[in-house]
Amino acid sequence: MHIIHIASEMSPIAKVGGLADVVHGLAKEEQALGHTVEILLPKYDILRYSHIQNLKIETPDLWSFEDGKQYHNSVWAGTTDGLRTLLIDPHHNDYYFNRGQIYGSPNDVDRFLYFCRASLEYLLVKKIKPDILHLHDWPTATCATLVKNLYEDLGFSPKGIVLTIHSIEHQGKCLPKNLTRIGLRGENFRTEEKLQDEENPILLNLLKGGIIYSDQVTTVSPTYAEEVLTPEYGYSLNETLIKYKHKFTGILNGLDLESWNPSSDPYLAATYPSNPTFLSKVLAGKKANKEALKQKTNLAISPDDPLIGVVSRLALQKGPHLIRAAMHHLSTRKGSFIYLGSAQDKALEMEFLSLKEHYKKNPRIQIYLEFNEELSHLIYAASDAFLIPSLFEPCGLTQMIAMRYGTLPIARKTGGLADTVFNRVNGFTFTGATETSLIETLDQAVDLYQNNQEAWCRLIEEGLTRDFSWKASTLRYLKIYGLAMNSHGAIQACRM
Ligand code: ADP
C-alpha cells in the first residue's frame, strides 16, 4: 500500500505533543510491514534539522493558490529515522512556517489551510496516486474537504482518506472567508450538514469538515471514542460524531519502543532493561538515574520516600490545578516532586512561575517550565511514580513510557488512561477530577512505596510486561485503511 501522512508534527523533528510521536511511530511500523510511506510536513524554521538526512530540494517550483494569487514553494525531501519526509517551504510574504513555533500564531488557520492546499497541489502535479491519505487533527483535516470538493475533479484521487483525531479540543474554527482564500467558496460550506460550527453558526469548523469528508475517522483510544460522543467530552462535535459513528473507531496508540527504551536511551545516566525478569537491574538502573537527576537539579530525594514526576504540556487538559494540589500536599509531607511542563498558555505559565518562586526554598520540589527532551527521559527513569491527573486524555503516551521505565502511573481514569492503567495492577487510578480524589490516591501510592516494597515491585513488573508496541495498533489502522478504500465511493456519492 502507498500511504501518505499529511501532518503538522512528527517526532523527532517537529514535536509539541503526542501527535508527533504517533505520526512517527505509526509510519515506522507501516514501513516495517512493507508499505511505502511518506510524510508531508511544513518546513518550519524550528525543525530539528540534524535529525534529517540527505535533505535537498526535490521540487524547486511548486505553485499554490491563496487569496486569488499563486505562490511559489519549494518542496524538500529528506529521510527522518528511515522515513521519507517531504517538506513544503512556501516563499510567502507572511513567512507562514518561520515563526519560531509550530502553533500559536494569530493566523494559524490560514497557515495550515495554505499547507493543506499546497500539499494536495504537490501530490496532483507529481501525479502521485496514494492508496491512503492519512490526515491528523484540524491542521490537516481540510485536505479531505479539498479532495472531495475540488481535487478529485482536478485529477487527484487517493483510494481512501482517513482522519485521526488526536484531540477534539482544537477544531480550527474560522470564518467562511478563510476557506475561500484557499479556493473553496466558504459560504457554501456554512450549512449544518457541511462545515457549520455547532456552537457558533457564523463560523466554519475545519475538524468537522474532516469528519464529514474522510472515508474513515479514528481517534486514539477506545474509551475516548466513547467519551467524545457525549456533550461533556465532545466539544460540540458529539452530534456530528454520532451521525458518522458507522465510520468512527478508537485505536489505542502504540509507543515507539526504540525511542523509549531504557536499555539504550542516550539521555540516561545509566541504562537498564525494560524487562520484569531482571527486576533487580531495573531497580539499580532507576537508583542510578535518581542520583543523576539529584545532581543535575539539586532535588532533595530521601531513599525511603518516593519521587513523583510529571512531564506534560502545561495546559488545562492536563489538570494543572490537581498537579498544584499534589505539589502542595507533598511539600508538607514526605516525598519529592519534579515537574517538567511546557506552557501553552500565558496565564498558566505565570501561575506556575509563581509556584516555582514559592517552592524555591523547598529542595524537595522542583519545577521546570520548558520543553526538554533530555530531562524528560531522565525524569521517566528516575521517578518512582508518575502523575497524570488529566481532565481528559485522548490516549496519553506518558503513562506507557512511565511503565516501560519501571515507573508507576498515578492516573485519572479517563480516555486512553482508562484503557491502559489499572488500579493496583500496574499503577493507581482515581475517577473524580477533584483534589480529594487525587490526594487519597496519592497517599495510597506513597503509603505502598514506604511500607510494602514487595507489592510496589509487583506493580512495576506488571507494567513492564505490557506490550505497548505499534504492532497491534498498526494492524488495526491497516484494517481501517481497507474500509476507507472500500467506502471511498460512498462519500463521493453523498457529495452529489
Ligand atoms: P499530549 O499529546 O496531549 O501532549 P501525550 O501524553 O500523548 O500528551 O504525549 C506527550 C509527549 O510529549 C510525550 O512524549 C512526552 O514525553 C512529551 N512531552 C510533553 N511535555 C514535554 C516537555 N515539557 N518536555 C519534553 N517532553 C514533553
In three-state form (DSSP H/G/I as H, E/B as E, the rest C), the secondary structure along the chain is CEEEEECCCECCCECCCHHHHHHHHHHHHHHHCCCEEEEEEECCCCCCHHHEEEEEEEEEEEEEEECCEEEEEEEEEEEECCEEEEEEEECCCCCCCCCCCCCCCCCHHHHHHHHHHHHHHHHHHCCCCCCEEEEEHHHHHHHHHHHHHHHHHHCCCCCEEEEEECCCCCCCEECHHHHHHCCCCHHHHCCCCCCECCCCCCCEEHHHHHHHHCCEEEECCHHHHHHCCCHHHHCCCHHHHHHCHHHEEECCCCCCCCCCCCCCCCCCCCCCCCCHHHHHHHHHHHHHHHHHHHHHHCCCCCCCCCEEEEEEEECHHHCHHHHHHHHHHHHCCCCEEEEEEEECCHHHHHHHHHHHHHCCCCCCEEEEECCCHHHHHHHHHHCCEEEECCCCCCCCCHHHHHHHCCCEEEEECCHHHHHHCCECCCEEEECCCCHHHHHHHHHHHHHHHHHCHHHHHHHHHHHHHCCCCHHHHHHHHHHHHHHHHHHHHHHHHHHC
Phi, psi of 72, deg, nearest 5: -90, 140
Residues paired with residue 303 on neighbouring β-strands, in sequence order: none
Residues paired with residue 218 on neighbouring β-strands, in sequence order: 164, 249
C-alpha 342 to ligand 1 mean position (Å): 9
The ligand 1 atom at the shortest distance from the C-alpha of residue 21 is: 14
Is the distance from the beta carbon of residue 373 to the nearest atom of ligand 1 less than 6 Å? yes
The ligand 1 atom at the shortest distance from the C-alpha of residue 22 is: 7
C-alpha 267 to ligand 1 mean position (Å): 16
C-alpha 20 to ligand 1 mean position (Å): 9
Predicted local confidence at residue 489, as pLDDT: 59
Q: Is the pLDDT score of 256 beyond 80?
A: yes
Is the distance from the beta carbon of residue 17 to the nearest atom of ligand 1 less than 6 Å? yes
Is the distance from the beta carbon of residue 103 to the nearest atom of ligand 1 less than 6 Å? no
Q: Is the pLDDT score of 494 beyond 60?
A: no
Q: What tens digit of pLDDT does each residue of 8-27 get? A: 999 999 999 889 999 999 99
pLDDT band at 493 (very low <50, low <70, confident <90, very high): very low
Q: Is the pLDDT score of 490 beyond 80?
A: no
Predicted local confidence at residue 52, as pLDDT: 98
Bond prior to 12 in cis (omega within 30° of 0): yes
The ligand 1 atom at the shortest distance from the C-alpha of residue 395 is: 7
Substitution site in 356, 398, 468 for ligand 1 pocket (most atoms within 8 Å of beta carbon): 398
Q: What tens digit of pLDDT does each residue of 286-298 get? A: 999 999 999 999 9
Exposed / middle / buried, residue 248 (Cβ in 10 Å: 0-12, 13-18, 19+): buried
Q: Which residue has the cell 521546570?
A: 368
Q: What tens digit of pLDDT does each residue of 46-61 get? A: 999 999 999 999 999 9
Q: What tens digit of pLDDT does each residue of 158-217 get? A: 999 999 999 999 999 999 999 999 999 999 999 999 999 999 999 999 999 999 999 999
Is the distance from the beta carbon of residue 285 to the nearest atom of ligand 1 less than 6 Å? no
C-alpha 321 to ligand 1 mean position (Å): 18
Q: What tens digit of pLDDT does each residue of 380-429 get? A: 999 999 999 999 999 999 999 999 999 999 999 999 999 999 999 999 99
The Cα 304–Cα 458 span in angstroms is 18
Handedness of CA 219, 225, 231, 237 (dihedral sign): positive
Substitution site in 11, 23, 313, 339 for ligand 1 pocket (most atoms within 8 Å of beta carbon): 313
The Cα 151–Cα 144 span in angstroms is 9
C-alpha 311 to ligand 1 mean position (Å): 6
- Give the cell for residue 226: 466513547
Predicted local confidence at residue 495, as pLDDT: 43
| 462: amino acid identity, one letter | E
Is the distance from the beta carbon of residue 255 to the nearest atom of ligand 1 less than 6 Å? no
The protein residue with its alpha carbon nearest to ligand 1, atom 20, reads: 312
C-alpha 432 to ligand 1 mean position (Å): 23
Q: What tens digit of pLDDT does each residue of 146-157 get? A: 999 999 999 999
C-alpha 396 to ligand 1 mean position (Å): 8
C-alpha 222 to ligand 1 mean position (Å): 20
Q: What tens digit of pLDDT does each residue of 268-321 get? A: 999 999 999 999 999 999 999 999 999 999 999 988 999 999 999 999 999 999
pTM assigned to the model = 0.92
Exposed / middle / buried, residue 419 (Cβ in 10 Å: 0-12, 13-18, 19+): buried
Predicted local confidence at residue 365, as pLDDT: 97
pLDDT band at 491 (very low <50, low <70, confident <90, very high): low
The b-or-e profile of 76-88 (16+ CB within 10 A means b, else e) is bbbebbebbbbbb
Residues paired with residue 312 on neighbouring β-strands, in sequence order: 341
The ligand 1 atom at the shortest distance from the C-alpha of residue 166 is: 2
For 84-101, what is the mean pLDDT? 95
State the chain's mean pLDDT as an integer. 96
C-alpha 313 to ligand 1 mean position (Å): 6
The ligand 1 atom at the shortest distance from the C-alpha of residue 317 is: 3
C-alpha 204 to ligand 1 mean position (Å): 29
Q: Which of 449, 306, 310, 294 is nearest to 363 (CA)?
A: 294
Label the pairing between strands 204-205 and 173-174: antiparallel
Is the distance from the beta carbon of residue 398 to the nearest atom of ligand 1 less than 6 Å? yes
Substitution site in 256, 397, 405, 417 for ligand 1 pocket (most atoms within 8 Å of beta carbon): 397
Q: Is the pLDDT score of 457 beyond 50?
A: yes
Q: Is the pLDDT score of 333 beyond 90?
A: no
Is the distance from the beta carbon of residue 85 to the nearest atom of ligand 1 less than 6 Å? no
The protein residue with its alpha carbon nearest to ligand 1, atom 4, reads: 17
